[in-house]
Amino acid sequence: MKISDKKIEIDGIDKEILRHLMEDARKPILEIARKIGISGAAIHQRLRKMESSGLISGSKFVINPRLLGYTTMAFIGIYLDKAMRNPEAVKQLKKIPEVLECHYTTGNWSILIKILCRDNEHLMNVLNHKIQSIEGVSRSETFISLNQQIDRQIQI
């Protein structure tokens, strides 16, 4: 692994390690080591370097929200009356548990958020009582996701 000008270059072995772990973060290191043909210690050392460089961070379990009753995914474009209200609006959006992502965008909206709700009634409640009550939100535009077609990370 080489670090230059805030860019990290990884070799073929690093890529193989990352591919295995991106497929299944709980895959045993020794199993990966056998498949790649290097020692488990070498993999641990490479992973520590990738973590300390910031290339990778942590691991997580992926929860199926449908099994918990959350079936309505929506993207909401939020219009703020003034651009300077963005930091405070984001601070308030962080307090809303249904907000999964928040992006500062170009174009018509000031902010684009992704939210997850139990159903359309829950979505309407979040919109009317939580999002639109944030100071500076002049209006919003909602797009309900019918079905996610692609879900992936960048390819290594």
User: What is the per-residue pLDDT for 139?
Assistant: 95
Does residue 76 lie within any of the structural domains?
yes
Query: Regarding beta strands 2-4 and 137-145, do their DSSP bridges make them parallel or antiparallel, or are they unpaired?
Result: unpaired
Question: Sign of torsion, CA 104 109 114 117?
Answer: positive
Q: Which residues does 78 contact at the CB level (< 8 Å), separation at least 6? A: 89, 109, 110, 111, 112, 113, 131, 137, 140
Chain segment 17-43, per-residue pLDDT in tens: 999 999 999 999 999 999 999 999 999
- Is 76 found in the same domain as 39? no
C-beta of residue 100 within 8 angstroms of C-beta of residue 117:
no
- Is 140 found in the same domain as 69? yes
pLDDT band at residue 16 using 50, 70 and 90 as cut-offs: very high
Average pLDDT rounded to a whole number, residues 70-79: 98
- Is 120 found in the same domain as 70? yes
Q: Tell whether the model's pLDDT for residue 90 goes beyond 90.
A: yes
Burial 126-147 (b: 16+ CB within 10 A, else e): bbeebbeebebbeebeeeeeee
- Is 133 found in the same domain as 80? yes
User: What is the per-residue pLDDT for 58?
Assistant: 86
Average pLDDT rounded to a whole number, residues 35-62: 93
Rounded to an integer, what is the distance from CA 127 to the centroid of its chain? Answer: 21
User: What is the per-residue pLDDT for 134?
Assistant: 97
Chain segment 92-124, per-residue pLDDT in tens: 999 999 999 999 999 999 999 999 999 999 999
Helices (H), 54-114: 86-94
Q: Which residues does 39 contact at the CB level (< 8 Å), separation at least 6? A: 33
How many domains does the structure of the chain reveal?
2
Q: From 142, 124, 148, 149, select the one nearest 75 (Cα to Cα).
A: 142
User: What is the per-residue pLDDT for 103?
Assistant: 97
Average pLDDT rounded to a whole number, residues 59-70: 92
What residues make up the domain containing 13?
Answer: 2-53
Higher per-residue pLDDT: 153 or 122: 122
